[in-house]
Amino acid sequence: MIDVRNLSYSYSHNKSYAIRDISFEVGEGEVFALLGPSGAGKSTTQGILTGLLPIQTGEGEVAGFDLRHMSRDLFNSIGVSFEQSNVYGKLTALENLAFYRKLFDVETEDPMELLKMVGLDHVANKRAGDYSKGMKHRLTFARSMINKPKLWFLDEPTTGLDPTIAGQIKDIVLKRKQEGTTILLTTHNMFLADQLSDKVGFIVDGELKLIDTPRNLKLKYGQRLVQVDYYQDGELVSETLSLAEAGEKHRLSEIVAAGNIETMHSREATLEEIFIKVTGRELVYNEAD
Amino acid sequence: MLRRILAVTMRDLRSGMRDAMIPYILIAPLLVAVLFKLFVPGVGSTVINVAMPETAEPAFAEYVERYGEVELLEDRDAIVKRVQAMDDLFGIVPKADGGYELIAAGDELTGTVEMVQSVLSSWQNPDLEPPVELKISDMGWELSPLARFGTNFLVVFMSVFGGMIVMLNLVEEKQYNTMAAINVSAIRRWEYVLGKALPGLILPILHAFAVLVIMGFTEVDYLQVAVVAFAIALISMIIGFVVGVYQSEPIGAVASMKILFLPIMASVFGAIFLPEKWQPVLYWSPFYWAYRSVDDIVLQQAAWSDIWLHNLIIIAITALVFALMHKRIKQGMRA
Ligand SMILES: Nc1ncnc2c1ncn2[C@@H]1O[C@H](COP(=O)(O)OP(=O)(O)OP(=O)(O)O)[C@@H](O)[C@H]1O
Ligand SMILES: [Mg+2]
């Protein structure tokens, strides 16, 4: 469904790249999650794949269409949910969807059904301008499904939503995945990526550092973590150490030798920890997003 | 295809009617026309205006008075001076041989010279039929210069409002960031542009009709009006696009639209006041050519060939502006 090679992109058309030499493939029915901290280049990548940003260097194919010779027909088979909601504030939610569905040549979903799905049916006739941030975001998300896309681009679909609603969104995505929709998910939420994706790609500073399945990653970096809580100068300190690394192994034996241990157990690494290990970078959650 | 174009247009109309600005733009021009109508003086039914010497035979003056307004002036010099003033007025000076000298400035409306001549000859030959035709055409010629120029100006100026509507609808897309959603739908760029442009192309035609009706020009060729209004609507609409795709805030956008005011004012006032040999300095302006067409139309003396020629010039200039601006527009529509 997606096959891109050596994509680089610079907003200022110079040597400062927002993404650099990115290559990956997403097979039909697969869910691929692009993970990375803020500013890593996730949205830029999605922008190129959806034709919103012109391809600069590299090659690619999306849903059978060459990125360099995109046809409008491509858009009948893809759906795009934006990280920043963008709906007509002077129209109601229902009007927003009723308008948007007319822009496609293919069979479309019933707007009211979509609103029900994302829990906006009770405010369907309210102007989107009067919606809260999260409601607008859900409307943007619902709109991206209107043409029953075979390939679905989701940029931060759950960011800024309360956990219950984020859970509902996740369930919708899961359901579509089971129905065979190919999905490119962009997020810095590792739990979401873990639960939804077949493959994850770690992206940092515009570079794709690694691509693998969550399972493989855990096998590789997994069972060797030890979390140890101990007292130091009267205070409880917590450290997570990997037994795979000599330095950390040594550190663990030091703590054990000191003898002030409260608890100690080994556990599976989370994707987040693996990310930090692989990229040396934190996934900073930005509350404002 | 048509469905998508209309979807864009209908969305714009629906959304537009929900704030104050667009309904205001729709009716403001009509209000201006109504106000203007109130101030245009003497829209009487005078057929012809004639100045003659005080010494002229009273019976002759009375006879002419039946067909028009007569001013009695001191002597021939005073009459010549009067004829040269801006409005349509003829001088008639009795000659020693019993005949009459007809003094005209040369810029009178087509047909009026003939009218005066026929009045004169029917006076001189009482056996002839009275000039019946004169009575019939009476209606259309109640034209003061202010009514003529003012109306023409308003018709040309209306195109700006079409451009403004287009612009405001684009500003709305920028404001809500919805262009990105449009760009990932299956609508073609040209379908979208046409859908957006439609109100800006149709509205100036309707506005022009309304202005003419309000000003009392019910007998002009409305098809000609539509053709001219459409041509200048094109250029205003392009300016609307240029401004609209780079503004995300309506008030600022309307303010930027003012760049159109200067060329329009310059064109119209230049066309009215510049002497013939200076008129070429306005040839670059599509509004100048539109003004000339509208002037002919209002005077009911427009030939289709002139209208098409003027329109061709307008469209050529528009095409040039578009060629210069289309990259900018395209870029602005990216996101
Ligand atoms: N329109 C733009 N103009 C110039 N630079 C931009 C633009 N959009 C993004 N960038 C830059 O490109 C880089 C990648 O940004 P991008 O939005 O792709 O990151 P992201 O991974 O989506 O981040 P986030 O998690 O915050 O959404 C950043 O350095 C950003 O500053
Ligand atoms: Mg982003």
ipTM (interface predicted TM):
0.81
Where is pLDDT greater, at A31 or A272?
A31
- Cβ–Cβ < 8 Å for B242, B328: yes
- Cβ–Cβ < 8 Å for B259, B280: no
Q: Please tell me the number of the ligand nearest to residue A201's CA.
A: 1
Low-confidence ranges of chain B (pLDDT < 70): 40-47, 86, 107-111, 127-144, 335
> Can you list the alpha helix ranges (DSSP code H) found in chain A?
42-49, 74-77, 93-101, 111-117, 133-143, 163-178, 190-196, 214-221, 246-258, 271-279
Task: Report the SS3 class of residue B89.
Answer: coil
As a dihedral over the C-alpha atoms of residue A105, residue A110, residue A116, residue A121, rounded to 10 degrees, the angle is: 100
Name the β-bridge partners of B210. Answer: none
Task: Report the SS3 class of residue B169.
Answer: helix
pLDDT for residue A74: 93
Q: Domain tally for chain A?
A: 2
Between A78, A82, A102, which is nearest B4 by CB?
Answer: A102
Are residues A46 and A73 located together in one domain of the fold? yes
Interval B76-127: pLDDT, tens: 888 888 888 767 788 888 888 878 888 887 766 666 777 777 777 777 777 6
* DSSP label at residue A198: S
| CA distances in angstroms from B281 to A62, B189, B275, listed in the order given | 54, 37, 11
Are residues A212 and A237 located together in one domain of the fold? no
Confidence of residue A286 (pLDDT cuts 50, 70, 90): very low
Are residues A83 and A119 located together in one domain of the fold? yes
Give backbone dihedrals phi and psi of B253, rounded to 5 degrees, phi first.
-65, -45
Are residues A188 and A242 located together in one domain of the fold? no
pLDDT for residue B129: 58
Q: In this structure, is residue A284 part of a structural domain?
A: no
Q: In this structure, is residue A206 part of a structural domain?
A: yes
Expressed as residue numbers, the domain containing A257 is 223-267
Where is pLDDT greater, at A144 or B18?
A144
Tell me the residues of B at the A interface, defined by beta carbons under 8 Å apart.
3-4, 7, 11, 14-15, 18-19, 172, 175-178, 180-188, 334-335
Which tokens sit at B62? 């009375």
Euclidean distance between CA atoms A64 and A78, whole angstroms = 11
Q: Which residue of A has its CA nearest to B334?
A: A52
Establish if A102 touches chain B: CB-CB under 8 angstroms.
yes
- Cβ–Cβ < 8 Å for B83, B112: no
pLDDT for residue B132: 44
pLDDT for residue B43: 40
- Cβ–Cβ < 8 Å for B29, B161: yes
Which tokens sit at A181? 């929709």
Of A132, A143, A190, which is closest to residue A165 (Cα–Cα)?
Answer: A132
Q: Calculate how far, in angstroms, residue B286's C-alpha sits from the geometric centre of ligand 1.
A: 43
Interval A177-230: pLDDT, tens: 999 999 999 987 878 888 889 999 989 888 998 898 888 887 777 656 788 888
Looking at residues A37-43, what average pLDDT do you find? Answer: 89
Are residues A50 and A127 located together in one domain of the fold? yes
Are residues A100 and A186 located together in one domain of the fold? yes
Composition of chain A by helix, strand, coil, percent to 5: 35, 30, 35
Q: Between chains, do A103 and B186 touch, taking CB under 8 Å as contact? A: yes
Are residues A185 and A234 located together in one domain of the fold? no
Question: Ranked by mean pLDDT, which of A5-14, A139-148, A197-206 comes out on top?
Answer: A139-148
Chain mean pLDDT for chain A: 87
Q: In this structure, is residue A14 part of a structural domain?
A: yes
Euclidean distance between CA atoms B90 and B316, whole angstroms = 40
Choosing from A159, A187, A219, the residue where a domain stops is: A219
Q: Residue A162 is part of a domain; what is its CATH number? A: 3.40.50.300
Task: Report the SS3 class of residue B147.
Answer: helix
Of A211, A197, A195, A214, which is closest to residue A271 (Cα–Cα)?
Answer: A214
Are residues A197 and A234 located together in one domain of the fold? no
Name the β-bridge partners of B94. Answer: B100
pLDDT for residue B256: 83
Asked whether A222 lines ligand 1 (CB < 6 A), one says no
Q: In this structure, is residue A285 part of a structural domain?
A: no
Are residues A97 and A173 located together in one domain of the fold? yes
Whole-model pTM: value is 0.76
Going by alpha carbons, the residue nearest to atom 31 of ligand 1 is: A39
Task: Report the SS3 class of residue B68.
Answer: strand
CA B25 to chain centre: 18
Are residues A228 and A211 located together in one domain of the fold? no
pLDDT for residue B133: 43
Atom of ligand 1 nearest to the CA of A34: 21
Are residues A41 and A159 located together in one domain of the fold? yes
Euclidean distance between CA atoms A86 and A69, whole angstroms = 26
Which tokens sit at B312? 């061709």
Q: In this structure, is residue A20 part of a structural domain?
A: yes
CB neighbourhood size of B57 (10 A):
11
Which tokens sit at A57? 């260097």
CA-CA-CA-CA torsion sign (B250, A12, B331, A155) = negative
CA distance A154 to chain B (A): 13
Euclidean distance between CA atoms B62 and A50, whole angstroms = 83
Q: Calculate how far, in angstroms, residue A22's C-alpha sits from the geometric centre of ligand 1.
A: 15
pLDDT for residue A283: 64
As a dihedral over the C-alpha atoms of residue A209, residue A25, residue B177, residue A94, rounded to 10 degrees, the angle is: -130
Task: Report the SS3 class of residue B100.
Answer: strand
- Strand A65-66 to strand A57-62: parallel, antiparallel, or no bridges (unpaired)? antiparallel
pLDDT for residue B128: 63
Beta strands (DSSP E) in chain B are 48-53, 68-73, 90-94, 100-103
Asked whether A55 lines ligand 1 (CB < 6 A), one says no
Are residues A235 and A175 located together in one domain of the fold? no
Interval B150-168: pLDDT, tens: 888 888 888 888 888 899 9
Q: In this structure, is residue A286 part of a structural domain?
A: no
Please report residues of A whose CB lies closer than 8 A to that of B182: 103
Euclidean distance between CA atoms B285 and B320, whole angstroms = 12
Looking at residues A244-261, what average pLDDT do you find? Answer: 82
- Cβ–Cβ < 8 Å for A237, A70: no
Give backbone dihedrals phi and psi of B58, rounded to 5 degrees, phi first.
-55, -35
Dump the DSSP string for B264-303.
HHHHHHHHHHS-GGGGGGGTT-HHHHHHHHHHHHHTT---
Q: In this structure, is residue A272 part of a structural domain?
A: no
Between A73, A87, A90, which is nearest B186 by CB?
Answer: A73
pLDDT for residue B60: 84
pLDDT for residue B244: 85
Q: Between chains, do B15 and A86 touch, taking CB under 8 Å as contact? A: no
